[in-house]
Amino acid sequence: MNKAIFNAKAEKPEGELEGVKKNTNSPGLNLSVAIDAHSGFCFGVVYAIEMAEEILDEEKLLYCLGDIVHNDEEVLRLERKGLQIIDHKQLASLTDVKVLIRAHGEPPETYRIANENNITLIDASCPVVLKLQNRIRNTFTKDQNVFIYGKHGHAEVLGLQGQTNGKATVFQSIEELDIDKMPRKISLYSQTTKSTESFYSIHKQLTESGIEVDLNDTICRQVSNRDSDLRVFSVQFDIIVFVSGLKSSNGKVLYQICKDTNPNTYFVSKKEDVDSSMFFDSARIGICGATSTPLWLMEEIRDTILGF
């Protein structure tokens, strides 16, 4: 057994963790498994999926602009109920249908096309994202220089940039910015799922460089607080199984946090990714996931592990 496993054991609290299940009756490995209570869909994703399911139960068909969530297993489940994923090019060719806008939100151009094509939009944009869009739009109309800390090409960021007719500056790291050539006064925003620590670090570096920054913190705390929650969770187990879709930016970040906290961390996207060779007898296993990871998938993976 390696040093990392011993360290993880040494820092566990006394007593049993809530939600732990054991496979003591199994002839194989004697494992105990717990699912992180804080993992799973954020409220924005829950809202979008509930809206989709309500319509699908009645009408058996609903178009969705982009993956409703960055998790292939959940998308596949909804596609079996009648959800059809489309892109913006396909949207422009549709008429007289219903189209769901996912939690990431959309730029104004999407609403214009829908209006012209008599498309009924089922708007499931996350309220936190909508608030951010409104603030960026208001800032832009005042002729202020808008800078957005976010991932290039991300659906939410495209929607934010659309509020400025594409004129906002988007950057993934401060190294992308030529600070000497930047305006001396800017309005700084962030994609809602970015790290608060990184956001405030960027603000500090910019102000120390002589730039006057109007700081707008609209980061979703339900998402950003997962950083600290997962650090606490990960250290309580011998092995961590992190469940996420391969497309999830949030998943990649949170997985790395788990990996840094507990080196015995595995990334899986479906139950078929789990193998008994990952575990050892009497191991305590923690399962956690991204904001786009459904609880049913984590439970399915838990049950698979308990079968070893």
In the chain, what are the domain boundaries?
3-41+224-306, 43-125, 128-219
pLDDT in tens, 6-19: 233 333 333 345 57
- pTM value is 0.84
**N- to C-terminal Cα separation, the chain:** 19
Catalytic residue among 14, 53, 73, 156: 156
pLDDT at residue 290, rounded to an integer: 94
Residue whose pair of structure tokens reads 């960021």 in the numeric block: 157
Fold of the domain built from segment(s) 3-41+224-306? Cobalt-precorrin-4 Transmethylase; domain 1 (3.40.1010)
Q: Where are the alpha helices (DSSP H) in the chain?
A: 3-10, 43-59, 72-81, 88-93, 108-116, 127-141, 155-162, 196-208, 221-224, 226-234, 249-261, 295-306
- 58 among known catalytic residues: no
C-alpha 8/C-alpha 235 separation (Å) is 5
Please give the average pLDDT of every successive group of 10 residues along the chain, which has 308 residues: 32 48 66 95 94 96 96 97 97 97 97 97 96 97 97 95 97 96 97 92 97 95 88 97 92 94 97 95 96 96 95
Fold of the domain built from segment(s) 43-125? Rossmann fold (3.40.50)
pLDDT in tens, 193-235: 998 999 999 999 999 999 999 999 989 988 888 889 999 999 9
Q: What is the CATH number of domain 128-219?
A: 3.40.1010.20
C-alpha 252/C-alpha 229 separation (Å) is 16
